[in-house]
Structure 1
Amino acid sequence: MSSNYNIDDKHIETKDSAATEKNSPSGASSQPTAQELRFLLGMQRQLLAKIANCESLNSITNFLCQNIEKISTDSYALTLVGTKQDYNYSIYSTEKIPRELYPLLQVSTGLVTRQHNCTYLCAIKNAQPLFCKDICSDPHWSEHGELSSNLGIASCWSYPLFGQGSAAIGSISILHKHPGYPSPFVAQLLETAAYILGVAITSSQSRDKLEKTKAHLHNITRSLPVAIVQLKLLAQKTPIISYFNQGLLNIFDHQQGSDHDFQLFWQLLNPITRRRLLRSYLKNNLTNSSYNQEFYLRDTQAKKKWFHLSATIEQTSERTLASEKEISLNCMLFETTKEHADREKIDLACIAFNSTDEGILITDQQHNIIDLNPAYLRISGYRKTDLIGNNSSTICPWQRKGSLAVLAEQGHWQGEVASNRKSGEAFYQRVTINAVASQDHNNKHFVYVVADLSQLKNSEAKLLFMQQHDPLTELPNRLLFKSLLEYEIKQSARNQLVAILMLDLNRFKHVNESLGHRAGDKLLKLVARRLNKTLDNQYTIARIGGDEFAILLANMPDRNSVKLIAEQIIRAMELPFVLADYDFYTTGTIGISLYPEHGSDSETLIKNADSAVHQGKDSHRNGYVFYHYKQSQTVESWVRMEPALRQALKNNQFKVFFQPQINTASGAVSGVETLIRWQHPEQGLLPPDQFLPILEAIGLMPEVGRWVIEQACYYLSKWRKNFAVEFKVAVNASSQELLQGDMAAHISSLLDKYNIPANKLEIEILETVIMEHAGQAVPLLTKLRDMGIGLALDDFGTGNSSLSYLKQLPVQKLKIDRAMVQDIESDYKKNAIVGAIIALGHRLGMSICAEGVESQLQLNFLRREQCEQIQGYMFAKPMSAADFEIWYKNYRKK
């Protein structure tokens, strides 16, 4: 059994000796029989069952001793419980033990004295088994040998009992009538009995301690003037009151022994209280935290009785299904009716003082502050400790000439006072002072009522500010900018310039379309902030509308000084702006007008700067342009041409021209580009750069673009029939056409109408169009490509950041702009760039067409670089349809 037992060889002979066999009382064999082992196991089970059923220690020891005496005949079994530090030991035995043995045990009222020195006590003291073979000769029994012999006791075998520690807590002994050692079975029986008794004693002692603790806690909770309750909460079931004290019955006016069902107590609460308690429980149950709640009940007289509930959820380590999870809620309730009434009185007394929006100060006779309300702290910005004890004049300088006399005479004074908050901010306050007299009619206190006039004053200032500033960026608006410009014109010294810089953001529309107007608003604010930082707040910056800003530079020495500031602004605008966690790059175009060179009044100067910025948007993006009088002439020309343009399509004044595209390898015509001209009734044939911008500005470009595509399809169909041509026809598409949304359907209908294969039509798009409208343009171009229509990126190499978008675009061809081809044979930089573009296009699976080829040297270079297609005056200028047919017949013969 237990490893705690080490039998001392001084008192126990080896069991394989002849003496053991000979002197064994039972004369048994050296090993227990099967029957003996079954008995041993049966006794173990019965003992453990008794321990599990919490039977008394007396019952367990009596059962054990009976079984030992039954199996070991001619013997008595007894048990001693106690430690070697105890003065007394408790003895347990059966009724079989004769009363004549009591003197031997030195028993007095059931206790064994500490000085007793027999085998069963030595086993406890030494914490080890002790087998006495012959009492008469054993020194432990020297004083009692004769007595024990006369009583028929010859030998004694004892085993110590152990609890949780290493010290013995008792012993179990067999007093035998014959000398000798116990048989192996009896020794095994003693060892097993000792182990189980140790468990039984420990369990009994633990139960005793628990009962004492329980009784102690019960007495404490019973005497407390509060209710203590434990609820068991099981999902989908009614809560159960698992514990409560007398305080709960007192609160709910119940008697001990009556029904204590949870529902009975719960229904006594009003519905609002039940909902509030349930909400509080559900909220805190999610976080396993404690919570506190105040509620009330009505007594038998219908009076409110207030209570405070404090509850915690008892933590458990058990893991169960959510539907079966049991929660223990430990609650404490105590009555707070008196405290609640006191709080109400205090609250009512403080409402007038604390809830008013006006500041209140209370001073003594010398106007030293003794109290003030939160409203005045909010008004003044001070803390209460800053002001208590100080004179009121430090924060409310009302004591003017005559004011003290008025207060003394009339008992009150009112006036408007300028003061400062703690932050140093100046503000106005309207002050009313009333004297509070004591019973002897002396002025004991003064009450100040202070109204903050800041909101009124600020509203007036804000109204003026709103009239003169942009609400988004808080910069001056056009109205204020114009007024400041007029002032600077009047103040301008001789030989000094006044400059107006009109800044327009590039790609601002792209931000609104891709990221939304909120991002656009943020960008405008960031631009305003950066302009102020760049110019170090030295100059007037205004937002005069949309994405347009104006900068006023006064007293500039010369034009070059204006240029330097314009360049500084351009460089600042090239830095990225962070929008939606991404770096967004925008640039600016600046138009500049100067006083007195470009106008003598504000209207003219602003108009001319605006004209210059629009000219810059067309020709110098990300740069600056000074106003020139020809820009006004251009605007006037647009105004004159617009009515005629609106009638041009109806009057068949637009003409289509064609320029061939040549295969560099074979020399054959591989395509033609369709171009437009305007046959003006007065000015003759006009190139597209003189009217296309106007068409876009007045919104006619989609309609004219559809007409051009149909003309291209018509002539290609005609040439396929008449000349059996296999080349493609290319048509330019504007941004307005791409954004219309019905372009794919329109082209599809034209292909069907003129019986043209889709791969014989090619759409050319400017790279700047895709850059500015990628979100709408790319899906449409992808749809056209899927229809089989060819797509070409026109004027490649002149836009911004094209390479980063190139791999995302569904185009099959790159058209190198004529500006890149010019001087290609002599300019090694252009030479390298064009070569790189061709190589890049090939790597991306695109073909290349070079525009503006005019010399054999250019052609030779492009052939070496494996450029597939060329277009330019070297072969033909743009021609009318009739002239192209003649040219084509002649070229084909060559």
Structure 2
Amino acid sequence: MLFIALPLATLCCLILFVIFGYASYIVLRDDLNEKIEQTADINARVLATPFWYLDVDNIESALNAMSRDRDIVAVRALGADGTEFARTGASQAELGDTLRLSRRVYFERNNVRHDVGELVIYFTEARVRELLWRRIVIDLILFGLLIAVVAASLLIANQRSIKEPLSRLLHSIRMTKHGRLRRPVEWNSDDELGLLIREYNEMVTLQGQAQEEAQRKQALLEATLHNIGQGICLFDQDLNLMVWNERYIELLNLPRDLVKEGTPLSDILRFNGERGEYGEVSIPALISDRVAIARRREPYRMERTRPNGRVVQVDHNPMPGGGYVATYTDITERKQTEARMRHLAVHDVLTSLPNRTLFLDRLRQALLSARRFQRGVTVLFVDLDRFKDINDHFGHDVGDLMIQEMGQRLSRIIRDSDTAARLGGDEFAIIQTDVQNIEDTIVLAQRIIDELAHPFDCRGIRLHSTASIGITLFPEDGDNPEQLVKNADMAMYAAKAEGRNNYRFFLPSMHERVKERKTIEEDLRNALEHDQLELFYQPKVDCLSEKVVGAEALVRWNHPERGLILPGDFISVAEECGLINKLGAWVLREACKQTQIWRENGMPELRMAVNLSPAQFQDADLLRTVTRTIETTKLPHGTLELEITESILMNNPEKAVSTLKELKKLGVGIAIDDFGTGYSSLNYLKRFPVTSIKIDRSFVNDINVDQDDKAIVDAVIGLGHSLHLAVVAEGVEQVEQLQYLQNKGCDFIQGFLFSRPLPVRDFEEWVRDRRENHAAPPLSTSIPNDHD
């Protein structure tokens, strides 16, 4: 009976062994395929946004995480056109016998689904076969052992020596069957039962290793989910929460006791609604609507602004078997950047005022409104006077601070309905709307001029500036923005030409004046290149002895078509177009050269006076230019005198003192020209290393009839002498004026009473005549007035 039962039992066990082995293979293979497909599906959704923005770093990070799975051989990320832009794992040549699974990656934007690429996973069934063969070997061993045990049991059923180990083995098998691995069965023997238990223990060890590997992969997947920058949640077909990461909790500020496996979506919606996440809404209606949206079978994207101001982008992607995966991305910084870019596109970076583009757009809107309601519109073009000199002298940092404060001042002056803009450089413009009468515009223009009377404080540097303002009216001066701005610009140049620090309304005749000014600018550039400039010299005479002691160099322009042009007709143009420094350097060089020629040819030892413009004085190369000129012409110390105005000194007194001291070291005298017409401080005046002051001709003209002028002249002479400065009177044209100045102790005289400015040859002849006949009476007062 035993010999019949044992073969039958063996045959049955063998059949069961084959069936179980094949079933195990199918289960292992299906588990592998399901795991790979799940990995592909989740990562295809997670990588949609990185694919769209070509965020290679995030893509490679995700690929590396997937490639840590021992069953995955390689992972590739392909673009929509099939181009590979990220890869990890084995090379292409090593993928011959691997299996391939791909998923298309879709990105939802503005309710349009975009195919952005493909995720390809290469995997192998090697571990399936390995595990299967191990199981077969183990099962064969177990089968053999089981047969042996059965046989032994049948043969020596009465032997109690096999009962205890078999009981232990059976108990361990049952525990393993229910998924609870126990410690190895403790039994030591050298017989067949001992061998069976040892093989069983090895099987238990292998299964434990497999379980640890599965746990490690699960931990790796969780680490990936919790370390990506996006919040992720997955709800099943019943809309219960199944998967989430830390970023999801952080972005939505959800309590941890709410976020747990199995939490219904409705509970999360109710919590958000009760804390005002969606504003004032009916919570039941909210839940109903949101649940209906969550059950939609098409992907969608929405942006959600949380109560704390953060903007979150939500990407909803339904899953094939029901439920959905949602990713939450914090796009606050991106939104802020986009807002800043939109702002910068139509605003000035330095002042935050509207730029030219926005200004013209608002002007168009203002004109449309004005036409509709029959109201007036005014455009004011504001330009800072001599800003280039300040920028060149103090640097662009100080200039930028001045521009910023100018923008702030204009913003304070105008009404909320008006617009102030920076058009570029030192040019600003204002749109004044709802203008009832022209006096409204005059008041605004005067307020701008008055505001600029206050100094600018730029990092401790007090700067003074004025503005020239051009004004155009709608509809009188134009019916479109471009024409109004162009006419306001011309009116502004007219204000500059008339002395700056004022405003002018546009007149049609300004077209011709602007054209004329442009012509002068071009001709002046040619004049510097083609030697059309010439220096005239006006003698400086000792007030008491009437002996010639020096001369002042004054530039003239011999225009080939217009004849002799005086400085008043082209110096302002040179300043505005940036030629003044080049012109001034030429005057300085030619005057010093001519002075040295006179000295070498036996002329009296005359001092040469040369005027410095504000731009020259603020030029960083002034000292080098003067030094090079003196060295080149070999002019002795004490021969050159530079004339500057009070306003130049007071624009930055501390810097002026430093510059004047350096000039004094070069042996250069300093004269303050037109003294009394500016706003110099006596406290600063005594600190300036000046050698003389010049009384402006406006005080000398009426010295015989105006008591105020007399008082000013007397005061200037007394002040100069008390400070040990020489005093020069300009514009002396009458003998009575000379006599008065002589009586008051004035040191030197300039004026038509002695001579007008003369060319080189005429000046030399005049000086020779004065030397030969020094006692000759002064010239007649009836001399044409062509003041320099």
TM-score, L = length of structure 2 = 0.57
Correspondent of 1:748 among 616, 620, 630: 630
Q: In 1, distance between residues paired with 2:248 and 2:501?
A: 55
Unmatched segments (≥5 aa) in structure 2: 1-215, 259-266, 777-788
Pairing 1:551–2:551 present: no
Aligned to 1:525: 404
Shift of 1:837: 3.7
Query: Which structure dedicates a bigger proportion of its chain to strand?
Result: 1
Aligned to 1:395: 277
Query: Which structure dedicates a bigger proportion of its chain to helix?
Result: 2
Shift of 1:700: 5.0
Shift of 1:596: 3.0
Aligned to 2:356: 478
User: Structure 2 counterpart of 1:421, which letter?
Assistant: R
Pairing 1:537–2:416 present: yes
Q: In 2, distance between residues paired with 1:845 and 1:427?
A: 74
Aligned to 1:15: none
Q: Deviations over 1:622-656 (max 9, x none)?
A: 44333344544333223323454344456554333
User: Structure 2 counterpart of 1:404, which letter?
Assistant: V
Q: In 2, distance between residues paired with 1:606 and 1:349?
A: 65
Correspondent of 1:892 among 774, 777, 787: 774
Closer/same/farther in 2, CA of residues 480 and 851 from structure 1, 3 Å limit: same
Pairing 1:787–2:666 present: yes
Shift of 1:893: 3.1
C-alpha contact 1:507 1:772 (8 A) present in aligned 2: no
Shift of 1:718: 6.2
Closer/same/farther in 2, CA of residues 473 and 630 from structure 1, 3 Å limit: same
Correspondent of 1:491 among 359, 369, 378: 369
C-alpha contact 2:453 2:465 (8 A) present in aligned 1: yes
Shift of 1:377: 8.2
C-alpha contact 1:407 1:413 (8 A) present in aligned 2: no
Q: Equivalent residues in 2 for 1:759-774 (5 A)?
A: 759-770=638-649
C-alpha contact 1:665 1:863 (8 A) present in aligned 2: yes
Aligned to 1:469: 347
Equivalent position SS for 1:599:
coil
Q: Deviations over 1:769-794 (max 9, x none)?
A: 45568788766644443233322222
Q: In 2, distance between residues paired with 1:767 and 1:837?
A: 14
Closer/same/farther in 2, CA of residues 422 and 831 from structure 1, 3 Å limit: farther
Correspondent of 1:422 among 297, 307, 332: 307
Equivalent position SS for 1:470:
coil
Aligned to 1:567: 446
Closer/same/farther in 2, CA of residues 466 and 786 from structure 1, 3 Å limit: closer
Q: In 2, distance between residues paired with 1:794 and 1:884?
A: 22
Closer/same/farther in 2, CA of residues 559 and 861 from structure 1, 3 Å limit: farther
Q: In 2, distance between residues paired with 1:722 and 1:516?
A: 44
Q: If you compute each CA radius of gyration, which structure gives the higher value, 1 or 2? A: 1
Q: In 2, distance between residues paired with 1:749 and 1:474?
A: 49
Q: In 2, distance between residues paired with 1:774 and 1:618?
A: 27
C-alpha contact 1:369 1:389 (8 A) present in aligned 2: no
Shift of 1:539: 1.2
Aligned to 1:218: none
Equivalent position SS for 1:762:
strand
Shift of 1:812: 0.7
Aligned to 2:537: 658
Shift of 1:869: 1.9
C-alpha contact 1:369 1:390 (8 A) present in aligned 2: no
Moved more, 376-385 or 802-811: 376-385
C-alpha contact 1:663 1:870 (8 A) present in aligned 2: yes
User: Structure 2 counterpart of 1:491, which letter?
Assistant: S
Aligned to 1:731: 610
Pairing 1:500–2:379 present: yes
Q: Equivalent residues in 2 for 1:660-699 (5 A)?
A: 660-697=539-576
C-alpha contact 1:744 1:783 (8 A) present in aligned 2: no
Q: In 2, distance between residues paired with 1:678 and 1:508?
A: 26
C-alpha contact 1:526 1:577 (8 A) present in aligned 2: yes
Closer/same/farther in 2, CA of residues 878 and 395 from structure 1, 3 Å limit: same
User: Structure 1 counterpart of 2:366, which letter?
Assistant: E
Q: In 2, distance between residues paired with 1:812 and 1:550?
A: 43
Closer/same/farther in 2, CA of residues 651 and 622 from structure 1, 3 Å limit: closer
Pairing 1:404–2:286 present: no
Q: Deviations over 1:347-404 (max 9, x none)?
A: 9999677655445689999999999988578767999999999533442589498653
Moved more, 426-435 or 612-621: 426-435
Q: Deviations over 1:564-612 (max 9, x none)?
A: 1122233333445543356655444333222233333322322232333
User: Structure 2 counterpart of 1:814, which letter?
Assistant: I
How many residues matched? Answer: 539
Q: Deviations over 1:766-824 (max 9, x none)?
A: 44445568788766644443233322222233345465653443321112322343444
Q: In 1, distance between residues paired with 2:393 and 2:563?
A: 43
Q: In 1, distance between residues paired with 2:338 and 2:668?
A: 64
User: Structure 2 counterpart of 1:874, which letter?
Assistant: L
Pairing 1:591–2:470 present: yes
Closer/same/farther in 2, CA of residues 354 and 860 from structure 1, 3 Å limit: farther
Equivalent position SS for 1:655:
strand
Shift of 1:685: 1.6
Closer/same/farther in 2, CA of residues 713 and 568 from structure 1, 3 Å limit: closer
Pairing 1:876–2:755 present: yes
Q: In 2, distance between residues paired with 1:588 and 1:706?
A: 27
Aligned-residue identity in percent: 34
Closer/same/farther in 2, CA of residues 477 and 704 from structure 1, 3 Å limit: closer
User: Structure 2 counterpart of 1:422, which letter?
Assistant: P
Equivalent position SS for 2:537:
strand
Shift of 1:696: 4.5
Q: Deviations over 1:652-710 (max 9, x none)?
A: 54333222223223333332222222222222221112223344455555555455445
Q: Equivalent residues in 2 for 1:233-312 (5 A)?
A: none
C-alpha contact 2:462 2:651 (8 A) present in aligned 1: no
Q: In 2, distance between residues paired with 1:824 and 1:373?
A: 93
Q: In 2, distance between residues paired with 1:735 and 1:511?
A: 9
Q: In 1, distance between residues paired with 2:532 and 2:293?
A: 92
Closer/same/farther in 2, CA of residues 675 and 527 from structure 1, 3 Å limit: closer
Q: In 1, distance between residues paired with 2:242 and 2:631?
A: 90
Q: In 2, distance between residues paired with 1:867 and 1:496?
A: 61
Equivalent position SS for 1:893:
coil
C-alpha contact 1:853 1:871 (8 A) present in aligned 2: yes
Aligned to 1:212: none
Shift of 1:483: 2.0
Q: In 2, distance between residues paired with 1:486 and 1:609?
A: 16
Pairing 1:635–2:514 present: yes
Closer/same/farther in 2, CA of residues 414 and 715 from structure 1, 3 Å limit: closer
Closer/same/farther in 2, CA of residues 611 and 782 from structure 1, 3 Å limit: farther
Q: In 2, distance between residues paired with 1:700 and 1:689?
A: 15
